[in-house]
Amino acid sequence: MAEIDYSSEIKRLKKEKNAVILAHYYQNDDVQDVADYLGDSLKLSQTAKDTDADIIVFCGVHFMAETAKILSSQKKVLLPVMDAGCAMADGITREALQAYKDQHPDTKIITYVNTSADVKAVSDCICTSTNGLKIIQHYLDAGEKILYAPDQNLGKYAMHLSGKEFEVWNGCCPIHHFLDKNKVLEQKKKHPDALIISHPECQLDILEISDYVGSTAQLISFVKQSKAKEFIVCTEQGVLHPMELQNPDKKFYVGSKSLVCHSMKKTSLEDVYNCLKNETNEIFVDEDVAQKAINALYTMFALSK
């Protein structure tokens, strides 16, 4: 039997079904290459909200497809691999956050986008790594008591920058949290002219030795405009693919070989093809949950402007 050319078939099916493919920067390179929109959580959630496609195939992890469904309830949202989850999102439940809320009714709850729809539904505002610092600062400037959940590292980084104390949940992304500073310093020794650039989900000891800290989208635009020629990248290594494509004259090194999110790498081109062809793995979100979550997401969009 002749082998299927997945890229061509996916292109054909997209047209036939008025579908778009959204892919996160941490996806496998070949999956990134078939995407109509490549981005971080903020860009992809905005794209899901604005697209007029009938079908969204979300190449990412479960909470991302769920967020797309919340923002585009009338569209069919498909996730090529149903058990592609996120360890950070799995580390916090609606019940735990609701219990905190019940005990602290006057505290505003700012929740990272890497959470389930259920958790978003009990939050006042969502944020991503691109707009997190701005949104936290907005609530601090307004004199509000806040809880930032669930990523302790972005929360601690915001405290460090603002000089203000607030409550932070104890969650993390294990990929970023367990990045060993010594591995990064080894890379720096090998490449002394390289700038260290890091995601705020890394611990403060990594951020303190970094030349630049930002979300995946911010790291990508930083390297594009930088005069430097070499970079040590401290985030999931999928991000090196767009960096290398956009900057053929620059060199990129991973902060450590451990920077691989196996959940993000579960999706293959074959999965994308099968999911689109058979319209399987549809994502559904309870209407009441979606309505509550959408309020928190729209508060984020309003505060990100």
Residues 276, 269: Cα–Cα separation, whole Å: 11
264 binds ligand SF4 (CB under 6 A): yes
Least Cβ distance, residue 300 to ligand SF4 (angstroms): 17
Binding range to ligand SF4, per CB under 6 A, among 86-94, 187-195, 204-212, 297-305:
86-94
User: Residue with structure tokens 């981005």?
Assistant: 39
Choose which of 22, 88, 122, 127 interacts with ligand SF4 (CB under 6 A). 88
Size of the site for ligand SF4 (CB under 6 A): 12
- Cβ neighbour number for residue 299 with a 10 Å cutoff: 18
Instruction: Looking at residues 242 to 261 of the shown chain, list those that interact with ligand SF4 (rule: CB under 6 A).
Output: 261
- Closest of 197, 182, 177 to residue 261, by C-alpha: 177
Q: Which is nearer to ligand SF4, 228 or 260 (CB)?
A: 260
Nearer to ligand SF4, 61 or 293 (CB): 61
Which of 27, 51, 67, 263 binds ligand SF4 (CB under 6 A)? It is 263
Whole-number CA gyration radius for the chain? 19
CB-facing half-sphere around the CA of 121: CA atoms within 13 A: 18
Binding mask of the shown chain, residues 176 to 215, with x at each position contacting ligand SF4 by CB under 6 A: ----------------------------------------
Residue 193 DSSP symbol: T
Note whether 175 binds ligand SF4 by CB under 6 A.
yes
Contact between 87 and ligand SF4 by CB under 6 A: the answer reads yes
Interface characters, 56-85, with ligand SF4 (x: CB under 6 A): -----x------------------------
Is the separation of the CB atoms in 78 and 283 below 8 Å?
Answer: yes
Q: How far is the CB of 96 from ligand SF4 (least distance, A)?
A: 18
H runs (alpha helix) in the chain: 6-17, 29-34, 41-50, 62-71, 87-90, 94-103, 117-120, 132-141, 152-162, 174-177, 181-190, 204-208, 216-225, 240-246, 269-278, 287-304
List of residues contacting ligand SF4 (CB under 6 A): 26, 61, 86-88, 114, 173, 175, 236, 261, 263-264
